[in-house]
Structure 1
């Protein structure tokens, strides 16, 4: 990692531990003896400063998940109703698991590939399951970044008008353009309104609203008004994606421009590993409709839907990047006594703020579009995944410096996406050289190899039927598998390793809580212990079962209207493979470890106890579950 400095002197480590450690007479200190080296710290390195760590974690967590994915998931799950389970999940799932992973990485100075094996050898596959999950995520994440890069190139080359007008070769008679209608009005008397239909400006009668007149015009021409699409949406599907509805006959037809953008994104990511819309949107006519839908008009019936809670939980995990090993990897480079609790609070607040902020911006623009089209908010855009690529260009088209505003927005999205992608690639590399220490001198080669693997896995998503594959990866990469990994993670730490052992490790790093508030809500307090032991395992189990049942019983359909995608059975099987593989790492590694111990004559119970590489092994006390299992085996 480029942001860490190697510590070469064990004497410096001892001095730092002695000066920073909070004294506790009831618990012995762990001090590196003179002349001995902490090989993990020496080889892995450490952050230069707290600020570097916080900014990197925020850059990892705050990304496309907030600006692109959060509004789209909220759009598909009832707007304001989605915010309630999202907030509840943030407090009961997101923050506790974030603290768990930061504490684990910092305590063990290990990435996910080796951290779980140190505390519970049988669960060493848990880390590799997380790395596998993050690899699948990075595959389709890179495709979204390539879409953004495509827009940046289009804007730089002066093609903004192609995105927001209806006079292009790919546009249909159902195209709706705010820009074209403003041109009609500007070329005539200012007090007369027009709609733009079939390359013609039609005057709106004084006793009619634009939306009603538009609907009548389409019906008079034997056209279905529900098929009306904004120019930006037609550009997204018909020009950039060149989306085809027949998967089999178009899967090998490349979309060369998008393919080149996808390749460029990976080149940029590898190189990096190596060495005003908010306020303007609120001023638009009809923006209040979108704000009410998003913040003030919750459909409380959605709260009774497991689908909404599942969407909130998976979006939160996706956004905070918990359960995929990235935060754990970054925390493993911290000083042993770094206050990660404050960092966790900052990350959760920044992530939540940016999610709500991005949602307000998008929904204010959707409200404006809904009023112009005479449609409900949930009918304006056909698919949530295209939301940001439609709403922002439409808003920018009404500004004086539309190209500049659009360009700045997509550059921001690009930087957010690349920062997250770089961290995911680094997490994969960290896992490999933590597991195989001989590879540490080949970090650059590992990063390049990781990029090549995910590049090959995702390049078909840039083809004309690529949206089918994209939706499969989007659906299954962070679904029941991610929730299952998080549930198993909490069970491993709290029941098998022992919540008291884990709390002791935290207190060794941060000291004992000094007041009642920290005793309850601190990182080693009762609240987080309750969440990790009870709430998170139960919540993830229920939502995982729901997701599995819903996926089995329901046809996988995405989008609507002319751009609907129905996933064929063969691709559904691919989705199940993507979903199950991370979990197979966990159970496969556990079974392998048990068999090896049986063959070698070692006690099976040893696979549930920390190994010799755990720095606090001499303080370990077997928890209730392990003691009872040991008693049962001895009988």
Structure 2
């Protein structure tokens, strides 16, 4: 085996897997970033936080926190050539727990994200016949999910969810077994163009619906007074982190599968702006359709505007029932949810598989089965029952608010002020790139982005402390909310204490900014 840097990297790539080119990496990164949140979260967040004026804090957040943190993830994974825990451990052994914290977050996200995928699969089929009839809300919460009358935990299975959820996990298992390039890479290269085409057709069709202009006016009419509201800026920073797949190990893992000569800053800009462009496209399509719904119902747009599952599975079916060529709109919309969700789910699960492979020296097949099967079992047990929606809502809220953002802030502070590695990372990112990642980036990562995220966290904590989230019983919030968020922290600490199957992996060579072995 060659002992040159190139030979060592080629051997590592053959063992761990790698993307065949920069283009495949970019497709995979976009596939991870563009998910359900782009379609059903961003439009309402923008509408609810100043409309057209929200574009200003959104762009500021993208440029001062989103892309800089994306570069930070890229630098860590690309330089140290490992999963999130291994990359942190190679940097400094005591920081390994941060990587496992991110792995725990991804595990939690995967088990409930798959359930939403299963709903979207069923609704793609429902769209052909408009199976929800005249009452989309009653159909979704009643006949389809069979949600219990009061929040709680119930083991009664919902077969209409369980069967498609099984199919989703079977498809995920198949893709993950194929590996980095043949599975993740190939899926992204195929699915992302399909997503863009399908959603593009949906947007064009929505723009020609009666009332579309009113919906767009509602979305883009600026409320300049919102710019003086701290919560609007917090919403912008939160949205950027939720949508870019940064802060929970995905981009660290993906960048470790890229050749050392890849232009990482250039790739990051492509991914960041592609993600934001899709969010804008989603806003146009969604609000054009909501404008039609408002006109058809004889109400104002603000009475039909919503986000999350309410938008996807209640508002859009109502639009589909009324709109000309509604079945086409429905199939395109839910197909877009399936495709966007699938590529994001694949990336989340890869974080866990990669970490397990690195830590325990397992084969791709062994690690995939060891990770995916338990995830599938937990997902089926908790989210294919009549209480699945309640558990999902609580878990999603707390993991996003107090899991992803908190580990992101701590990671930035540890890397910039504790270990002071930003100059090294700057040099690594700048090498071979036309973009000089210099002092401006270090200031953003070490000062501006942490301040923005601390503001987001502080406001979120204050809101949840002041008013229990969603009106759920205290015990449910304690178990599935605060308990789950705390569990990923404890998991990170405990997993970091386990011994590495191959201790030499921690001292394996990496490549410095000149490409030399070090």
Q: Same fold (TM over 0.5)?
A: yes
Q: Distance in 1 between matches of 2:513 and 2:316?
A: 57
Q: Distance in 2 between matches of 1:293 and 1:283?
A: 17
Counterpart of 1:256 (choices 155, 159, 166) is: 159
Alignment of 1:485 onto 2:407? yes
**Residue number in structure 2 paired with 1:449:** 370
Q: Distance in 1 between matches of 2:308 and 2:274?
A: 23
Alignment of 1:66 onto 2:31? no
The verdict on how the C-alpha distance between 1:464 and 1:533 changes in structure 2, with shifts beyond 3 A counting, is same
Do the aligned residues in 2 keep the contact of 1:556 with 1:567 (CA within 8 Å)?
A: yes
Counterpart of 1:271 (choices 155, 168, 174) is: 174
Do the aligned residues in 2 keep the contact of 1:102 with 1:327 (CA within 8 Å)?
A: yes
The verdict on how the C-alpha distance between 1:49 and 1:615 changes in structure 2, with shifts beyond 3 A counting, is closer
Secondary structure of the 1:54 match is: helix
Do the aligned residues in 1 keep the contact of 2:428 with 2:513 (CA within 8 Å)?
A: no
The verdict on how the C-alpha distance between 1:289 and 1:548 changes in structure 2, with shifts beyond 3 A counting, is same
Structure 1 stretch 39-48 or stretch 130-139: which is displaced more?
A: 39-48
**Residue number in structure 1 paired with 2:213:** 288
Counterpart of 2:142 (choices 238, 245, 252) is: 238
Flag the structure with more relative contact order, 1 or 2, with Cα contacts below 8 A and sequence separation at least 6: 2
Given the two structures, how large is their TM-score scaled by the length of structure 1? Answer: 0.70
Give the alignment of 1:113-192 within 5 angstroms.
Answer: 113-155=85-127, 158-160=128-130, 162-163=131-132, 165-166=133-134
Q: Distance in 1 between matches of 2:158 and 2:48?
A: 28
Deviation, 1:480, is 2.5
Q: Distance in 1 between matches of 2:216 and 2:175?
A: 38
- C-alpha distance after superposition, 1:417-467 (max 9, x if no partner): 111111211221001111222x1x2x2232223222222333322322222
Q: Distance in 1 between matches of 2:495 and 2:226?
A: 42
Q: Give the paired residue count.
A: 484
**Residue number in structure 2 paired with 1:607:** none
The verdict on how the C-alpha distance between 1:136 and 1:552 changes in structure 2, with shifts beyond 3 A counting, is same
Q: Distance in 1 between matches of 2:88 and 2:154?
A: 40
The verdict on how the C-alpha distance between 1:85 and 1:462 changes in structure 2, with shifts beyond 3 A counting, is farther
Q: Distance in 1 between matches of 2:210 and 2:327?
A: 21
The verdict on how the C-alpha distance between 1:454 and 1:72 changes in structure 2, with shifts beyond 3 A counting, is farther
Given the two structures, how large is their TM-score scaled by the length of structure 2? Answer: 0.85
Alignment of 1:496 onto 2:418? yes
The verdict on how the C-alpha distance between 1:283 and 1:41 changes in structure 2, with shifts beyond 3 A counting, is closer
Counterpart of 1:415 (choices 321, 334, 339) is: 339
Do the aligned residues in 2 keep the contact of 1:101 with 1:327 (CA within 8 Å)?
A: yes
Do the aligned residues in 2 keep the contact of 1:61 with 1:420 (CA within 8 Å)?
A: yes
Give the alignment of 1:184-583 within 5 angstroms.
Answer: 231-248=135-152, 251-275=154-178, 276-298=201-223, 300-301=225-226, 303-306=228-231, 308-380=232-304, 384-398=308-322, 401-437=325-361, 439=362, 441=363, 443-459=364-380, 460-498=382-420, 499-507=422-430, 509-510=431-432, 518=435, 522=436, 524-557=437-470, 566-574=471-479, 575-583=481-489
The verdict on how the C-alpha distance between 1:399 and 1:547 changes in structure 2, with shifts beyond 3 A counting, is closer
The verdict on how the C-alpha distance between 1:582 and 1:303 changes in structure 2, with shifts beyond 3 A counting, is farther
Do the aligned residues in 2 keep the contact of 1:483 with 1:544 (CA within 8 Å)?
A: yes
Deviation, 1:291, is 1.0
- C-alpha distance after superposition, 1:458-512 (max 9, x if no partner): 33223222221111112011112211211122122222332222223334x426x
The verdict on how the C-alpha distance between 1:382 and 1:359 changes in structure 2, with shifts beyond 3 A counting, is closer
Q: Distance in 2 between matches of 1:531 and 1:550?
A: 27
Q: Distance in 1 between matches of 2:53 and 2:143?
A: 34
The verdict on how the C-alpha distance between 1:495 and 1:481 changes in structure 2, with shifts beyond 3 A counting, is same
Do the aligned residues in 2 keep the contact of 1:76 with 1:384 (CA within 8 Å)?
A: no
**Residue number in structure 2 paired with 1:219:** none
Higher Cα radius of gyration: 1
Structure with a larger share of its residues in helix = 2
Do the aligned residues in 2 keep the contact of 1:126 with 1:585 (CA within 8 Å)?
A: no
The verdict on how the C-alpha distance between 1:145 and 1:299 changes in structure 2, with shifts beyond 3 A counting, is farther
Q: Distance in 1 between matches of 2:243 and 2:485?
A: 19
Secondary structure of the 2:419 match is: helix
Do the aligned residues in 1 keep the contact of 2:238 with 2:453 (CA within 8 Å)?
A: no
Q: Distance in 1 between matches of 2:416 and 2:452?
A: 16
Structure 1 stretch 336-345 or stretch 286-295: which is displaced more?
A: 286-295
Secondary structure of the 1:338 match is: coil
Deviation, 1:585, is 4.8
- C-alpha distance after superposition, 1:146-181 (max 9, x if no partner): 1101112334xx532x33x32xxxxxxxxxxxxxxx
Do the aligned residues in 1 keep the contact of 2:81 with 2:510 (CA within 8 Å)?
A: no
Deviation, 1:381, is 5.2
The verdict on how the C-alpha distance between 1:256 and 1:73 changes in structure 2, with shifts beyond 3 A counting, is farther
The verdict on how the C-alpha distance between 1:473 and 1:431 changes in structure 2, with shifts beyond 3 A counting, is same
The verdict on how the C-alpha distance between 1:121 and 1:235 changes in structure 2, with shifts beyond 3 A counting, is same
Computed over aligned residues only, the root mean square deviation of the Cα atoms, in angstroms, reads 2.9
Deviation, 1:129, is 0.7
Structure 1 stretch 487-496 or stretch 348-357: which is displaced more?
A: 487-496
Alignment of 1:104 onto 2:76? yes
The verdict on how the C-alpha distance between 1:589 and 1:538 changes in structure 2, with shifts beyond 3 A counting, is farther
The verdict on how the C-alpha distance between 1:393 and 1:550 changes in structure 2, with shifts beyond 3 A counting, is closer
Do the aligned residues in 2 keep the contact of 1:494 with 1:502 (CA within 8 Å)?
A: no
